[in-house]
Amino acid sequence: MDQAGVANRRSQLPDALIAPGFVPEFEAVKWGAALGDSYHDMLLMDWTVFQAGIDAEDQGYAAVVVDTVSDSGVRALRSRLSIPVIGPGEAAFHAAMLLGKSFTVLTMWPQWFPLYEKTLGDYALGDRCASLRSIDTRPDVTELLAGKEEVIFEKLRAEALLAIEEDGADAIVLGSTTMHQSAAYLASVLPVPVINPGVVAWKTAEMLVSLGLNHSKKAFPSPEVGKDADIRRGWA
């Protein structure tokens, strides 16, 4: 991803939402999957996000927020690091459960459904997910939704209403941080909360750092034999 793509990702986090004393830095992985549309890509996403994050603690960062609702590499990074590691999927799903009883994951295309099926299973939240719904539109993971608002936003609204009316969803979780440009619009036209996962993940990281909380090393034990040098060689 070039710098323009990184800037589009950064735009999901308005400066007004950043608490005093916190500074977000967005970094692209050095290489990786193109679209997350297959189990092949899911493996690459886990591996390359993990590679990109293993040095964060040594570099002085207070937390790592993974910028994908697939939560790629999150559990492996928690094992490797002793600073909070936040996945937008986990943060958004649990935020939805604070605000309602069931939620729908609203996404761009059905090729991303396996990503959510995996995380919902990992977090034992499958029975709280009313449905997975998509607008069957190939995503643009660099330009995101810019220039496509007039068409895409209405498709998302219509699909979200079906989730509410037919599936019983009482909260909507956007299925990708690349969909953040639609969050304010959907929140203004839907009768239920709309969870913007990237923002929720960032605020969760701020909260954990402020409270001095971190993931349990009983749940995510560190490896007895580390392989950092071999992992870094994998960048070549």
Q: What is the DSSP string of 150-195?
A: HHHHHHHHHHHHHHHHHH--SSEEES-GGGGGGHHHHHHH-SS-EE
pLDDT of 60: 97
Q: Which helix (H) or strand (E) holds 129?
A: strand 129-134
Together in a domain, 139 and 154: yes
Report residues of the chain scoring pLDDT below 70: 142-143, 147, 234-236
Together in a domain, 121 and 38: no
pLDDT of 117: 97
Together in a domain, 11 and 48: yes
pLDDT of 234: 62
List, for residues 24-81, the tens digit of each pLDDT value.
999 989 888 989 999 999 999 999 999 999 999 999 999 999 999 999 999 999 999 9
* Segments forming the whole domain that contains residue 169: 89-196
Together in a domain, 186 and 208: no
Together in a domain, 129 and 63: no
Tabulate helix, strand, coil % of the chain (nearest 5).
Answer: 50, 10, 45
DSSP state of 63: -
User: The CATH number of the domain where 70 resides is what?
Assistant: 3.40.50.12500
pLDDT of 235: 54
- The whole-model pTM stands at 0.93
Q: What is the count of structural domains for the chain?
A: 2
How, if at all, do strands 85-86 and 103-107 pair? unpaired
